[in-house]
């Protein structure tokens, strides 16, 4: 991993001791500037402490040239002044010497208009409670909280970065991902599967009491369905169990709901494919994230796989969270 030769202010772009990793073979399905193919560029940014260094290391392991804390003024020279034989990933954020939100968005817009360049703006985020815990555990200072409380620095950064998040191509919430899961997530979201065809779709179940998944493109609320929580024998089970599935699908409105849901997604996915979009995150929520949302997410995963999509299914509030990404 290359580190740009500029002073780095103290800021936690990921947990202490993020693995570096060496460059591997070029990522399958991810062009690296070979003849006739666009040069791929991933610009990584987001909240301090959300795991940008971890994401950069993961992309390096997938064959990217990786540059951390790159001043935006040097990016054009990096792209034009050297022959790159593999894709490029760079991190730029509030630590960076010449960073401003307007400059970042203008730079990305200009690069997107350049022939032969495939640009993705990747934004990493997670809840403020998780960020505060990471800064406390690593004993690092937030780059905007050198002379103020950590909470004030996070609030200031979130307000500043809101336009960048709104303009991002991919948003990844790292609160519940281990390093390995983050790497697989990036591989899916950036279309780096080796030789795979079709769209990449992530389906995640969740409980509303634990908050919405930040990375969701579409959110479906299934709290109107019959709730197994109130059946004593079903309460300790999950939506993966046949008894729970039978209880929920026996809801008199389930079949009508399922037909409407798949009809909607058929339209959305067809239009997305026509516009060249290769990734989508579908979130399905119930109250606790244990029964109804899990069942519907599992069914969606099977239905999407039958349509030829590459699908990952994750149950955010059913599975224990790993260490911070």
- Detail the residues annotated as belonging to a binding site: 46-53, 93-96
The residues near 244 (Cβ < 8 Å, ≥ 6 apart) are: 228, 234, 237, 238, 291, 295
* Residues tagged in the binding site annotation for GTP: 93-96
User: From CA 86, how far away is CA 26, in angstroms rounded?
Assistant: 7
Q: Which two tokens stand for residue 282?
A: 């579908």
CB burial of residue 34 (10 Å; 0-12, 13-18, 19+): exposed
Sheet holding 200-207, edge to edge: 218-221, 279-286, 200-207, 310-315
279: helix, strand or coil = strand
* Residues tagged in the binding site annotation for ATP: 46-53
41: helix, strand or coil = strand
Question: What value, to the nearest 5°, has the Cα angle with vertex 188 and ends 108 and 38?
Answer: 45
User: From CA 32, how far away is CA 39, in angstroms rounded?
Assistant: 5
Among residues 42, 36, 220, the alpha carbon closest in space to that of 118 is found at 42
């Amino acid at each position: 991993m290359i580190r740009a030769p500029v002073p780095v202010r103290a800021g936690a772009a990921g947990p202490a001791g993020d693995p570096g990793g060496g460059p591997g073979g070029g990522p399958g399905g991810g062009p690296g500037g070979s003849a006739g193919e666009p040069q791929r560029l991933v610009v990584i940014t987001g909240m301090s402490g959300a795991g940008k260094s971890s994401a950069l290391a993961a992309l390096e392991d997938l064959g990217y040239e990786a540059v951390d804390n790159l001043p935006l003024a040097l990016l054009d020279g990096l792209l034009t002044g050297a022959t790159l034989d593999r894709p490029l990933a760079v991190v730029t954020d509030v630590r960076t010497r010449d960073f401003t939100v307007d400059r970042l968005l203008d730079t990305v817009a200009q690069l997107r208009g350049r022939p032969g360049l495939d640009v993705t703006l990747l934004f990493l985020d997670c809840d403020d409670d998780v960020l505060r815990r990471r800064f406390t555990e690593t004993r690092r200072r937030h780059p905007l909280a050198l002379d103020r409380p950590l909470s004030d620095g996070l609030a200031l950064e979130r307000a500043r970065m809101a336009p960048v998040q709104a303009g991002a191509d991919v948003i990844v919430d790292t609160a519940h991902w281990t390093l390995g899961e983050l790497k697989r997530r990036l591989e899916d979201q950036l279309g780096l599967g080796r030789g795979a065809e079709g769209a990449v779709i992530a389906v995640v179940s969740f409980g509303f009491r634990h908050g919405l998944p930040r990375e969701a493109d579409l959110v479906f609320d299934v709290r109107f369905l019959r709730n197994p929580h109130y059946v004593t024998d079903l309460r300790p089970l999950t939506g993966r169990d046949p008894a729970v599935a039978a209880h929920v699908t026996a809801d008199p409105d389930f079949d009508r709901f399922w037909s409407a849901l798949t009809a909607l997604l058929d339209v959305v996915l067809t239009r997305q494919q026509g516009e060249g979009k290769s990734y989508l995150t579908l979130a399905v929520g119930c109250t606790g994230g244990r029964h109804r949302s899990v069942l519907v997410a599992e069914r969606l995963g099977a239905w999407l796989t039958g349509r030829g999509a590459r699908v990952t299914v994750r149950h955010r509030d059913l599975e224990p969270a790993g260490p911070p990404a």
